[in-house]
Amino acid sequence: MKQDVVAIIIQFEKIRLDYKEIYFKNNLSDKKFDGQFINHVDKTIIFLNLNLQNFADNILNKQIFDRILPTDSINDYNSVLQNYYTQTKSSFIYNFVSIVENYFRNIYNVIFPNNKTRQITISKILKDIFNYFGIAESDEWNALSILLKIRNTIHNNGYYCSKNEVINYKRYIITFINGQPHTAAHFEILADILVDIKNLFLIIHSKIKI
């Protein structure tokens, strides 16, 4: 498992550097919300990777782990391992969705200044933004849809509570079934979602002056 975790860290670090490259290449500023978006994503990935590195270096070593929280059995230890890993991922998803939603609400305020975004659902905001810029509802749209659905399941203790839906996303067929746990929060899917949202940021950045 340690090799898998290290591979995830390497993958997400590459994505983080790609985000930062956008920041510097486009002379973005933390005084504007587009630059803030990139910097917040950067910090969120850093925190994720620090947690994963701690998991790989310390938590996966029972002798080290037991110095912090002694466990009576391997089953107890494995249960804590799984919970730590899941909570690390859930925290990243929750923080990332908050950053993404805030960015798109800010975009919406720029292109529709007379509308009050607090009274509009994020789904409608995204729909209006995609229509305004003429962006096809392809990978970027599916990435956002999956991410928001995953976030909503976290609010519902890991269970999906809406209409059944099947999303074809890249090489995945992702199924959301009402009343069932979701299965879409794999790190490889989250990595693809990060890349597609980065690409969407670049599309919007090329079409609007903030």
Name, in order, each residue with C-beta under 8 angstroms of 78's C-beta and a sequence gap of 6 or more.
none
Do 42 and 19 touch, CB atoms closer than 8 A?
Answer: yes
- Average pLDDT of the residues of the chain: 93
pTM (two decimals): 0.93
pLDDT at 55: 94
Q: How confident is the model at residue 54 (pLDDT cuts 50, 70, 90)?
A: very high
* Domain ranges, ordered by start, for the chain: 2-207
Q: How confident is the model at residue 184 (pLDDT cuts 50, 70, 90)?
A: confident
Name, in order, each residue with C-beta under 8 angstroms of 37's C-beta and a sequence gap of 6 or more.
99, 102, 103, 201
